[in-house]
Amino acid sequence: MKTQYYTATSINGYLADEDNSLDWLFQFGEIESMEDDYPRFIKQVGAIAMGSTTYEWIIEHENLLEEPEKWPYETPTWVFSSRELSVVKRADIRFVQGDVAPVHAEMAEAAGDKNVWLVGGGDLAGQFHDQGLLDEIILSVAPVMLDSGAQLFPREITSSPLKLIDVQQHSDVFAVLTYEVPLQENLKSDG
């Protein structure tokens, strides 16, 4: 079982623009050579985590309060938020807050031999990293630059650099980079 942060990003490290829009990403449409990537990835996922901004974006983008049957995941989903959020009917959503470590333990148990997917945002993925619970970062890098917005990963990682384990090119548009996250030195002695 791995905990993976799998997302798309601009070259300069933004997940969404300052208006929380992904239009910069959607302009590329479907890339034929990437059609099987997401279905292959999601088959290996047994639990999902996301922050409240990501959850609210999905609800709005898919109109899920009026059309709950369009909830995109059959997998149990944990939404981290300190606020009360709208509930998508009939979706397996668990609202949580606080330290990610005990929630990760629940997620790992629910996932069984499958992986945990951190959908976003960047700060939530950073919290998992801070606890030594992030194993991989998989980035679909789009050929655009944004001048502000939601950061990919608002953390400094320098003393235990990521290890590049796979690179794929799709058309003349996307590079998919997979990084292994080494166990942090300060956490090695704890576990």
| pLDDT value of position 158 | 85
Work out the average pLDDT over 103-114.
98
The total of other beta-carbon atoms located within 10 Å of residue 163's CB is 11
| pLDDT value of position 105 | 97
Residue 152 has pLDDT above 80, yes or no: yes
| pLDDT value of position 44 | 97
| pLDDT value of position 125 | 97
| pLDDT value of position 183 | 81
Contact 91, 68 (CB under 8 A): yes
**pLDDT per residue over 19-51, tens digit each?**
999 999 999 988 887 888 999 999 999 999 999
Q: Which of 20-34, 55-69, 103-117 has the lowest mean pLDDT?
A: 20-34
24 three-class SS: helix
Contact 117, 38 (CB under 8 A): no
| pLDDT value of position 188 | 43
| pLDDT value of position 185 | 55
Work out the average pLDDT over 75-84.
97
In angstroms, the CA 113 to CA 163 distance is 24
**pLDDT per residue over 92-108, tens digit each?**
999 999 999 999 999 99
Indicate the pLDDT class of residue 76, thresholds 50, 70 and 90.
Answer: very high
Average per-residue pLDDT for the chain: 93
Q: Cα–Cα distances in Å, from 101 out to 3, 130, 179?
A: 12, 10, 21
Residue 191 has pLDDT above 60, yes or no: no
Radius of gyration of the chain (CA): 16
The DSSP secondary structure of 100-159, one letter per residue, reads HHHHHHHHHHHHTTSEEEEEE-HHHHHHHHHTT---EEEEEEES---SSSEES--S---S
Annotated domain spans of the chain = 3-188
Nearest to 79 by CA among 109, 65, 59, 63: 59
Residue 13 has pLDDT above 90, yes or no: yes
| pLDDT value of position 117 | 98
Q: What superfamily in CATH does domain 3-188 come from?
A: Dihydrofolate Reductase, subunit A (3.40.430.10)
| pLDDT value of position 28 | 92
The total of other beta-carbon atoms located within 10 Å of residue 88's CB is 22
**DSSP β-ladder status, 136-142 and 174-180:** antiparallel
**pLDDT per residue over 168-190, tens digit each?**
999 889 999 999 999 865 454 44
